[in-house]
Amino acid sequence: MRILRFRLNGDDVEIAAPDHWTLLEILRYRAGLTGTKQGCDKGDCGACTLHLDGRSVLSCITLAADADGRDVTTIEGLVSASGPDVVQDCFDEAGCLQCGFCQPGMIMASRQLVTENPAATRAEIKAALAGNLCRCTGYTKIYEAVENACRRTREGGGAAAAGVTRAAEDGADG
Ligand code: FES
Ligand code: FES
């Protein structure tokens, strides 16, 4: 058992967990954040995607210890006082999902893309979401939702979550 200290959706937290637990496990079973989904649990489906220091990672194959001292953003952290994130809004508007199980991971992967490349082409969107599987529906409306989020961001209406913004700035610095 170890005590992990990290920033979770903008708050400093301390969470005790067994050494072998994954980041997904401590979020769902210690922090009570069930928005991040447990799908395949072996790195194949993308349902558990979240941001670690602003970059998408698969939390089912990331050790909780790797989050120590770092910045974790989950789907819950994308909502701000001004409402849902633009990517969440565009997914909602597009009605592009059915059961919704894949949605948090899809949105987190899309959020990184929209921040880093708001001029993304359809091919780039497909590539960015290639690791996120949906068993219910076709992908066309999902791609359209991301294109819409890109367009709204280019027009100035798509502020990113804090962690994602920081990562983009770090990348720009080299
Ligand atoms: S639950 Fe992590 S990739 Fe499927
Ligand atoms: S909407 Fe059901 S898995 Fe994607």
Nearest CA to ligand 2 atom 3: 134
Q: What is residue 158's predicted lDDT score, i.e. its pLDDT?
A: 66
Give a yes or no: residue 137 inside a domain. Answer: yes
Q: How far is the CA of 98 from the centre of ligand 2 (A)?
A: 5
Structural domain harbouring 34: 2-78
pLDDT at 162: 46
Distance of CA 147 to the CA centre of its chain: 17
CB–CB of 77/20 below 8 Å?
A: no
Specify whether 74 is located in the same domain as 92.
no
Report the atom number in ligand 1 closest to the C-alpha of 59. Answer: 2
Is residue 150 included in any domain, yes or no?
A: yes
Ligand 2 atom nearest 135 alpha carbon = 3
3-state DSSP assignment of residue 1: coil
- In this predicted structure, what is the pLDDT of residue 3? 96
Q: How confident is the model at residue 138 (pLDDT cuts 50, 70, 90)?
A: confident
Same domain for 104 and 46: no
In a domain, 174, yes or no: no
The ligand 1 atom nearest the CA atom of 45:
4
Q: Which ligand 2 atom sits nearest the alpha carbon of residue 97?
A: 1
Alpha carbons 168 and 2: distance in angstroms, whole number: 31
The residue among 27, 56, 78 that closes a domain is 78
Same domain, 37 and 10: yes
For 56-101, write each residue's pLDDT tens digit: 999 999 999 999 999 999 999 999 989 999 999 999 999 998 999 9
User: pLDDT tens, 110-122?
Assistant: 999 999 999 999 9
pLDDT over threshold 80, residue 42: yes
Binned at pLDDT 50, 70 and 90, residue 172 comes out as very low
CATH number for position 135: 1.10.150.120
Please check whether residue 146 lies inside any domain of the structure.
Answer: yes
Domain co-membership, 74 together with 7? yes
The pTM for the full model equals 0.91
Whether 173 shows a pLDDT value over 70: the answer reads no
Average pLDDT on 99-108 reads 97
Any ligand 2 atom below 6 A from CB of 95: no
Is 106 inside any structural domain?
yes
The CATH number covering residue 53 comes to 3.10.20.30
What is the CB < 6 Å shell around ligand 1?
38-41, 43-48, 58, 60
Q: Determine the distance separating the centroid of ligand 1 and the alpha carbon of 53, expressed in angstroms.
A: 19
Cα dist. 1→15, 41, 64 in Å?
A: 10, 21, 11
